[in-house]
Amino acid sequence: MAATATATSRVETPTRMALKRFMKSTSGKIGLVMATFLVLVALLAPVFRPYNPATDRDFLNIKKPPSAERLFGTDNLGRDVFTRVIHGSRISLQVGLVAVGLSLTIGTLLGLMAGYFRGGLEVFIGWITDILLAFPSTLLAIAIVAVLGSNLTNAMIAVSVTQIPIYIRLARSVALSVRELEFIQAATALGAPNRRILLRHLLPNALPPVIVQATLSIGTATLETAALGFLGLGAQPPAPEWGAMLSDAFRQGHWLDAPWMMVFPGFFILLTVLAFNLLGDGLRDALDPRANK
């Protein structure tokens, strides 16, 4: 009797199984630790190092190399690179989350609709997808920013547009396979409205692959936004955005005599992207075990 009791209390729910698989994945665990660290840095930056990018200048300490006092050195305006880099993580994480949230919402809905309704709508959405995929993503993002104007918000919008097709394709393929299953037919027979079928029945099935993709996309979005910042098409100075900091260092040649202005912002871009790529790998092992190997 006691044995049955313990057995039932250890029922393997899907969540618990996924959690188990996630904890078995080395890359997932490393990614989780790194991402948590970055989120903490972003949250605590204003507590440890209150900072105003517009006024923080110290002309007596220009281009000082890294030291115990100034971990990452100072830049051409005497600003503390460490402070700017940790405040940059606030911008990058926000951008990553918002850009991915936008493309995920729009792309998933369009994809589900295409796969469920089929017909002309599917052809039309497929056409839009093909067109968006006909441009290398960096180029498309640059073109969009050229139209909207160069600032961080527009860079974010541009990056999210380039990612929409991925979600359309993912969600559409899920909708195509699920719509033929009995429970959807049952829901239709019961007179469930289309909106309910889409959101209550199709969406939950599309979520696991979409979540995995979204985690990986945060890395890509961070990278692309920083690239736009580097080209001067994203965040504008004096914002401590990593790409814009690199652009400052590169364009005015400061990186030649003060390489720390270039090394640290770039290293943090790498850390952030790596963290979310690892986390995404772990989540794939957990949520989508068939996709791997």
Partner 1 sequence: MWAYVARRLLGLIPVLFGISLLVFGFLRAIPGDPAVVMLGERGTPEQVEALREKLGLNRPIPEQYLIFVGQLLQGDLGRSTFSLLEVRSLLIAKWPATFELAVAAMLVAILIGVPLGILAAVRKNSIWDNLATSFALIGVSLPVFWLGLMLVYLFAVNLQWLPSGGRLSVEADAFFRPVTGFYVLDSLLQRSGVADVLSHLVLPAVTLGTIPLAILTRITRSAMLEVLSQDYVRTARAKGQTERVVIWRHALKNALLPVVTIIGLQFGTLLGGAILTETIFSWPGIGSWIYEGIINRDYPVVQGGVVFVALVFVLINLLVDLSYALLDPRIQYR
Q: Which is nearer to partner 1, 82 or 255 (CB)?
A: 255
With CB under 8 A as the contact rule, the residue among 81, 112, 226, 279 that binds partner 1 is 226
> Tokens in use for 36?
């948590």
Does 131 bind partner 1 (CB under 8 A)? Our answer is yes
Does 33 bind partner 1 (CB under 8 A)? Our answer is no
AA identity, residue 59 = F
Does 236 bind partner 1 (CB under 8 A)? Our answer is no
Does 235 bind partner 1 (CB under 8 A)? Our answer is no
Q: Which residues pair with 80 in a beta bridge?
A: 74
Q: Residue 275 to residues 27, 30, 36, 49, 188: CA-CA distances in angstroms?
A: 9, 8, 9, 24, 42
Helix (H) / strand (E) containing 240: none
Does 38 bind partner 1 (CB under 8 A)? Our answer is no
Does 231 bind partner 1 (CB under 8 A)? Our answer is yes
Give the x/- contact pattern for partner 1 in 270-289, rule: CB under 8 A.
Answer: x--xx--xx--x--------
Give the x/- contact pattern for partner 1 in 132-151, rule: CB under 8 A.
Answer: --xxxxxx--xxx-xx-x--
Q: Which is nearer to partner 1, 158 or 202 (CB)?
A: 158
Alpha helices in 64-118 (DSSP H): 81-117
Q: Residue 82 to residues 44, 47, 179: CA-CA distances in angstroms?
A: 14, 14, 52
Does residue 161 contact residue 103 with C-beta atoms inside 8 Å?
A: yes
Tokens 């089929």 label which residue? 118
Considering only residues 190 through 219, tell me which ones interact with partner 1, judged by CB under 8 A: 219
Q: Which stretch binds partner 1 (CB under 8 A): 53-61, 186-194, 198-206, 225-233?
A: 225-233
Does 245 bind partner 1 (CB under 8 A)? Our answer is no
With CB under 8 A as the contact rule, the residue among 86, 227, 244, 283 that binds partner 1 is 227
Q: Which residues pair with 153 in a beta bridge?
A: none
Does 256 bind partner 1 (CB under 8 A)? Our answer is yes
Rounded-to-integer distance, Cα 272 and Cα 15, Å = 26
Closest CA to 111 of 214, 202, 221, 212: 202
Give the list of residues 6+ apart from residue 204 with CB closer than 8 angstroms, or none.
none
Q: Which residues bind partner 1 (CB under 8 A)?
A: 27, 127-128, 130-131, 134-139, 142-144, 146-147, 149, 219, 223, 226-227, 230-233, 243, 246, 249-250, 255-256, 259, 262-263, 265-267, 269-270, 273-274, 277-278, 281, 293
